[in-house]
A and B are shown apart, each in its own frame.
Chain A
Amino acid sequence: MLALAASAPRLLTRSALALTPGKDETILVVLQLSGGNDGLNTVIPFADDLYHQSRPTLRQVAAQAQRINDQLAFHPRMEGFARLHAEGQLAIVQGVGHAKSDRNHPGALHMWHTAEPQPPGPPTGWLGRAADQLWNPDSANLPAAFIGAIPQPFASNAERVIVPSLRTSRDLVCPPEEPLAAGPGAALLDHARQATAAAQATSRRIEAVRRAGAGDYPQYRLADELRTIAQLIRADAGIRIYFTELGGGGIGGFDNHAGQLGNHCSLLEQLSASIAAFARDLQRDQLFDRVALLTFSEFGRTLHENGRRGTGHGSAQPVFVAGGRVQGGLVGVHPSLADLDQDAQKVHTDFRRVYATLLDRWLGLDSRVVLGAPYAPVAFLRA
């Protein structure tokens, strides 16, 4: 009897673990930088005279502090990115976008969200379609979640999966449990029971993680959201795709047509410090190896600053991929400042190649189903 009593809790734990969806599965975090990030002041071509000539007030003269190589440097406020890069856990994929991209915010965002440059595009977002691929209604898993307080951007719009918007990990915590009635059930009732049990198991694990401590994050909204993601990863919520945002949605904070300097500095510091804290937090127990975090913006910006110390809507941009199994470093050449398209750097890497790489080689999906066509991978993941 004693033996039985002692093993009963373990049996319970084991069956709870069996409900835990994929403890080793890879996780994609996608971070939208709303407004059109100025890639030229993020990854700075400090050795290029054209850069300095074109940006008399916006150019970063102290740029060398966060050197990537003898041509390029991170913005001086991006120490966190420089460290991640030095650790080999940050890839910088240059010249990404689409040659025919709209230079208006809604059109360009819609392209990145749907993965289709030609409007109107499909009725779902690329992350929504990936979530539909990951969805198994019989097991009631949770493939994707948006983390943030703004209306969910279109990228996660799915046909079948309900992608929740979570402000904190508490949003997945159930009220105190009530005993559930047992008894015979038809298929659909069993399904409802399984979904309820999964919600309650997730809820218990989240509460345990929350009790264990908040981690060391800076006081930024983005940092809070990344902390929430780290909590949910640690709690094995089973979510494979996290989508979050910096800049405030709509026509976001990165859209600096005037007085760009201070505002952009602050956003880059938030970006860099928040992601660095997220990486450090997850590195503690090797969880960063399960994560690939992609940043994107709707477009880069023009080379020349305008009369109001800002920049206009551009084209190509560098996107960042951070993670424990990322092949760190520069990918692709820095698009020339001498060969521009309407004052903006030209695209040499179709953004869908980045998506396809993450879908095929990271999430293990078939990117052709999600993107409608095959795209050559980009080398930013370790083999």
Chain B
Amino acid sequence: MALPSALDPQQAWARFEPDARQPWTLALAGHLYRRAAFGASWPQLQRALAEGPQKTLDGLLRPAADVAAFNRQLDEYETPPGDDRSATELRAWWLQRMLRTPHPLLEKLTLFWHGHCAADNAKAESAPAMQHYLQGLRRHALGDFRALLAGLVREAAMFASHQAKANRKIQPSPGLARWLLEAHLETAAEPDVREAARAFTGWFIYADGLRYIEREHDAGSKQVLGRTGNFDGDDIARLVLEQPATAATVVRKLYRWLISESAEPEAALLAPLVMAYAKNYDTFALVETMLRSNLFFSPSAVRQRVKSPVEYALGLVQGLELSIATQPLGDALAGLGQSLLHPPTVKGWSGGRNWLNPATVAGRLRLADALLRGGPYIENLNLAAIAQKHGQPAASFFAKLYLQDETTPGHEPDARRAAYATAAQPEFQLA
């Protein structure tokens, strides 16, 4: 879908205030929870409908609950005594966190950064290193991107994922340097990559983590991105952040994540956001502008993304208001192409239309069917009781809950079949 050609950036990014022409609806509340969270329960949708978009966003951006305490507790769950963590358990805890957190937007952005700065446990082969990496992403997910990047260039999981476990003076490993340049600038020239790799020499991964060996650092002068100096890895991150392309790249990527992946936005549309972001890399402010905007609540954004497997499955689960076994769910999601902590390449998941092929669609439908039967995921699932609790007939409840479809009369009185019929709709594949 093309964007309206005369989209005025100022109008597009201005706060959405519903009026008679563009009313606040259940459909828009569902849209907001699909993008700023991992879907919604019926009470959440009802409260959002009553409170309006901006007040709902206040709660999604700055939840009243003690988020830090929640995350501290989950950090503890993730770290069992005896240090026998596995990446599969870590993945399962992350899915629990996404489902239970009082601040789902923070996890949504953590997932975004996991795709952008994609570390891979298959290379790191260390659950503690992956946990440390993930905690770093979460700490800065809605904060200062400069701090996020500064942390990442000292992250063992990142060095390992970029085949840079040993960065010797005489044999620099170009992986991490190449990623920093390629992921943020439009192009990365080989000489820049080579010189930047020299800046990262001295870092080595040992059994207990990343260590800096002074005598292995190449302290000579390097030329990177038109600048000359005795740079180290931290400096390379700083130089990347000074490039105007970096802010533009992150804003464009976040636009695809939060607003639309069906149309490439004009540079002029993003310009005001890029300018603001380049000043202090305040991710929170950028996300807030996007989510509160007219554009976000317009037809140019609604259902203009394909759900990732995580979004597809958690969207179903959130509506059920029940706890779920996330270890088998993590495996199922891996089968659908989204193995958390194990992205296909350091470029993360390409997503969009790539999510859907006949095997992954069949897999999604089979997963929905299994989830809605309880399967290995949910004990004592009673779908009819959920509809009943909210005073809704089962036949039409799930279409309202999952698709915000208030017109389907619902011929199917069986709650499970009614719920599955909703999840099987092509529309439900879209976020």
Query: Across the interface, do A157 and B360 meet the contact criterion of CB distance under 8 Å?
Result: no
A175: contacting residue among B357, B365, B430, CB under 8 A: B365
Tell me the complex Cα distance, A35–B151, Å: 40
Query: Across the interface, do A158 and B344 meet the contact criterion of CB distance under 8 Å?
Result: yes
Chain A residues lying within 8 Å of B358, measured Cβ to Cβ, are 140-142, 172, 195, 198-199, 202, 237-238
Tell me the complex Cα distance, A159–B350, Å: 7
The verdict on A191 contacting B366 (CB below 8 Å), with A162-B360, A180-B426, A199-B358 known, is no
Q: List 12 A-B contacts (CB under 8 A).
A: A137-B353, A159-B347, A162-B337, A171-B363, A177-B424, A178-B425, A181-B405, A181-B427, A187-B1, A187-B262, A199-B365, A238-B358
Query: Across the interface, do B421 and A142 meet the contact criterion of CB distance under 8 Å?
Result: no
The verdict on A191 contacting B369 (CB below 8 Å), with A165-B335, A173-B362 known, is no
7 additional contacts, CB 8 Å, given A166-B359, A188-B305?
A140-B357, A161-B354, A161-B357, A188-B262, A188-B353, A192-B356, A195-B356
Tell me the complex Cα distance, A244–B187, Å: 37
The verdict on A203 contacting B362 (CB below 8 Å), with A165-B335, A186-B303 known, is yes
Chain B residues lying within 8 Å of A157, measured Cβ to Cβ, are 344-345
Interface residue? B388 (CB, 8 A)? no
Hey, what's the 0/1 contact readout for B351-381 against A, CB within 8 Å counting as 1?
0111111111111011011000000000000
Query: Across the interface, do B420 and A195 meet the contact criterion of CB distance under 8 Å?
Result: no
- Residues 128 to 154 of chain A near chain B (Cβ within 8 Å): 135, 137-138, 140-142, 145
Interface residue? A53 (CB, 8 A)? no
Of all chain B residues, which has the CB nearest A124? B345
- Residues 243 to 277 of chain B near chain A (Cβ within 8 Å): 262
Total chain A interface residues with beta-carbon distance under 8 A: 44
The verdict on A189 contacting B303 (CB below 8 Å), with A162-B354, A180-B425 known, is yes
Hey, what's the 0/1 contact readout for B400-423 against A, CB within 8 Å counting as 1?
000001001000000001001100
Query: Across the interface, do A199 and B362 meet the contact criterion of CB distance under 8 Å?
Result: yes
Tell me the complex Cα distance, A177–B361, Å: 13
Interface residue? A372 (CB, 8 A)? no
Tell me the complex Cα distance, A180–B304, Å: 19
Query: Across the interface, do B306 and A192 meet the contact criterion of CB distance under 8 Å?
Result: yes
Query: Across the interface, do A174 and B362 meet the contact criterion of CB distance under 8 Å?
Result: yes
The verdict on A174 contacting B426 (CB below 8 Å), with A159-B350, A161-B354, A165-B335 known, is no
Chain A residues lying within 8 Å of B304, measured Cβ to Cβ, are 186, 188
CB distance from A138 to the nearest CB of B (A): 7
Of all chain B residues, which has the CB nearest A186? B1
Chain A residues lying within 8 Å of B347, measured Cβ to Cβ, are 123, 159
Query: Across the interface, do B426 and A195 meet the contact criterion of CB distance under 8 Å?
Result: yes
CB distance from B350 to the nearest CB of A (A): 5
Total chain B interface residues with beta-carbon distance under 8 A: 43
Residues of A within 8 A of B (CB): 120, 123-124, 135, 137-138, 140-142, 145, 157-162, 164-166, 171-175, 177-181, 186-189, 191-193, 195-196, 198-199, 202-203, 237-238
Interface residue? B163 (CB, 8 A)? yes
Q: Does more than half of chain A's interface fall in helix, strand or loop, or is it mixed?
A: loop
In the A-B complex, the 3 residue pairs with the smallest Cβ-Cβ separation, listed nearest first, are A162-B337, A192-B426, A199-B361
CB distance from B101 to the nearest CB of A (A): 27
The verdict on A188 contacting B424 (CB below 8 Å), with A123-B346, A124-B345 known, is no
The verdict on A140 contacting B353 (CB below 8 Å), with A196-B429, A202-B358 known, is yes
CB distance from B76 to the nearest CB of A (A): 30
Query: Across the interface, do B425 and A181 meet the contact criterion of CB distance under 8 Å?
Result: yes
Chain A residues lying within 8 Å of B366, measured Cβ to Cβ, are 171, 174-175
Interface residue? B99 (CB, 8 A)? no
Chain B residues lying within 8 Å of A192, measured Cβ to Cβ, are 306, 356, 426-427, 429-430
Query: Across the interface, do B306 and A164 meet the contact criterion of CB distance under 8 Å?
Result: no
Query: Across the interface, do B344 and A159 meet the contact criterion of CB distance under 8 Å?
Result: yes
Of all chain A residues, which has the CB nearest B373? A175
Of all chain B residues, which has the CB nearest A197? B426
Interface residue? B320 (CB, 8 A)? no
Tell me the complex Cα distance, A365–B362, Å: 28
Which of A175, A180, A191 is the most central at the interface, judged by chain B CB atoms within 10 Å of its CB?
A175
Query: Across the interface, do A123 and B430 meet the contact criterion of CB distance under 8 Å?
Result: no
Query: Across the interface, do B353 and A191 meet the contact criterion of CB distance under 8 Å?
Result: yes
Tell me the complex Cα distance, A192–B303, Å: 11
A186: contacting residue among B175, B262, B336, CB under 8 A: B262
Tell me the complex Cα distance, A212–B77, Å: 51
Query: Across the interface, do A175 and B369 meet the contact criterion of CB distance under 8 Å?
Result: yes
Tell me the complex Cα distance, A280–B354, Å: 36
CB distance from B336 to the nearest CB of A (A): 7
Query: Across the interface, do B353 and A162 meet the contact criterion of CB distance under 8 Å?
Result: no
